[in-house]
Amino acid sequence: MSIISIKNVSKNYGQKKVLDSVSLEIEKGEIFGLLGSNGAGKSTITKIILGLEKPTSGNIVYYEGRQINIKEKLTLVPQDIAAYKNFSVEKNLEFFASISGLSGDLKKNKINFLLNWLNLNEFRKTKTSFLSGGYQRLLNIAISLISDPEIIFLDEPTVGLDPLMRKMFWDKIKELRNQGKTIILTTHYMDEAQNLCTKIALLKKGKLLTIGKPIDLIREYGGIKVTVLKLTSMILDDDLPKIRAAINNRNVIVRDKYLFVPVEQEHGFEKIVALTQWLISRGYSIDYSTTKEPDLEDVFLQLTGEKMKTDN
């Protein structure tokens, strides 16, 4: 069931078209990833969905059975820290809870729940400026969840986090989904999108290139599995046709000591074994071998022609 329909949305800033007739359906309970290089239009479309910017043309429809009051249901977890640095963690939550209209036991219980759930309890009395960057991010999420939103936008939620903290963020985002929330996130990390998102929209210069489940996009655009064999010596030019013939695969490529073998669906593994035996019988030794599965990075490269920067 769609919860947000984006229909032919375009946005111009002056002469510049930053969104070009983008149409998307976001379903309830999804972790929806907006992907694309810098300037692709991710933040612009997010702002339009949040109602912070108006589209130049096209429109957005919000449903939940009947049309919903979006102001009450959407929340943005911004990349910048929303908390007051001079307040303690608890004081920040109390402040934002009051703004959301909570009071009494309801407010107390909500704050306790969020502090526990996000592992922030031990920092309850800590001044926000003394928290590490990762915990400040967690506090940001806690603040955004006070109003009990249905749809949560996360703008590059894990930039600058260490691997452990990143993993914890992923787990919390998945838990939010399990609670029935809809998550929309932007990210530059392909592994994050692949691990987390149930659906992905890939934008380039304001245009929607594709939309789908990571696994389907990888199947369609990711190319095939490739096994790389590194030998201890150079491969003789004369041997390449023999190698290709030995395993009946014309797409094998040789570069110095490396063999790149596209793994076919049928008998792929047996052919690698046969190739290894053939090489050894000819006096070659294998230094190492590795197999690369196609992933979202390959999809990105294939569709945009750009390599995604993973260091941001």
Ligand X SMILES: Nc1ncnc2c1ncn2[C@@H]1O[C@H](COP(=O)(O)OP(=O)(O)OP(=O)(O)O)[C@@H](O)[C@H]1O
Asked if residues 182 and 30 have their Cβ atoms less than 8 Å apart, the reply is yes
Residue closer to Mg ion (CB basis): 188 or 271: 188
Question: Collapsing DSSP states into helix, strand and coil, what is residue 13?
Answer: strand
Cross-strand bridge partners of residue 6: 24, 60
Question: Is residue 110 at the binding interface for ligand X, with CB under 6 A as the rule?
Answer: no
Provide, rounded to whole angstroms, the least separation between the CB of residue 33 and ligand X: 12
Q: Indicate whether 160 belongs to the interface with ligand X (CB under 6 A).
A: no
Would you count residue 39 as binding ligand X (CB under 6 A)?
yes
Query: What 3-state DSSP class applies to 155?
Result: strand
**CB-based contacts of 211: which residues, under 8 Å, 6+ apart?**
24, 199, 200, 201, 202
Residue with Cβ nearer ligand X (89 or 299): 299
Among 9, 43, 77, 197, binds ligand X (CB under 6 A): 43
CB of residue 8 to ligand X, shortest distance in Å: 17
Residue 111, φ and ψ in degrees, nearest 5: -65, -45
Binds ligand X by CB under 6 A, chosen from 4, 22, 33, 42: 42
What CA–CA distance (Å, rounded) separates 217 from 203?
Answer: 14
Q: Which of 33, 41, 55, 157 binds ligand X (CB under 6 A)?
A: 41
Nearer to Mg ion, 42 or 271 (CB): 42
Q: Tokens 């096209």 belong to which residue?
A: 58
Residues lying near Mg ion in the complex (CB under 5 A) are found at 42-43
Beta-strand ranges (E) seen in 52-164 are: 57-62, 74-77, 151-155
Rounded least distance, CB 75 to ligand X, Å: 18
The span from the CA of 158 to the CA of 165, in Å, is 8
Q: What is the separation of C-alpha 12 from the centre of its chain, rounded to a whole number of angstroms? A: 26
Whether the Cβ atoms of residue 30 and residue 176 lie closer than 8 Å to each other: no
How many whole angstroms separate alpha carbon 229 and alpha carbon 269?
13
* 13 vs 130 by CB, closer to ligand X: 13
Nearer to ligand X, 43 or 182 (CB): 43
Q: Which does 272 bind (CB under 5 to 8 A by kind): Mg ion, ligand X, none?
A: none
Residue (of 55, 26, 20, 54) closest to 40 by Cα position: 20
Cα(237)–Cα(165) distance, integer angstroms: 49
Binding ligand X (rule: CB under 6 A), the pick from 6, 24, 31, 40 is 40
Question: Looking at beta carbons only, is 43 or 182 nearer to Mg ion?
Answer: 43
Q: How far is the CB of 206 from Mg ion (least distance, A)?
A: 13
State which residue, 44 or 128, has the beta carbon closest to ligand X. Answer: 44
- Find the binding residues for ligand X in span 4-33 (CB under 6 A): 13, 18
Whether 276 and 155 have beta carbons less than 8 Å apart is answered as no
Which of Mg ion, ligand X, none sits in contact with 38, Cβ below 5 to 8 A by type?
ligand X
- From the list 42-50, 130-138, 263-271, 299-307, the region that binds ligand X by CB under 6 A is 42-50
SS3 35: strand
Q: Which does 36 bind (CB under 5 to 8 A by kind): Mg ion, ligand X, none?
A: ligand X
Question: 39 is in the binding site of which of ligand X, Mg ion, none (Cβ under 5 to 8 A by kind)?
Answer: ligand X
**Judged by CB, which is closer to ligand X: 16, or 125?**
16
> Among 151, 147, 141, which Cα is nearest to 120's?
141
Summarize as ranges the residues that interact with ligand X (CB under 6 A): 13, 18, 36, 38-44
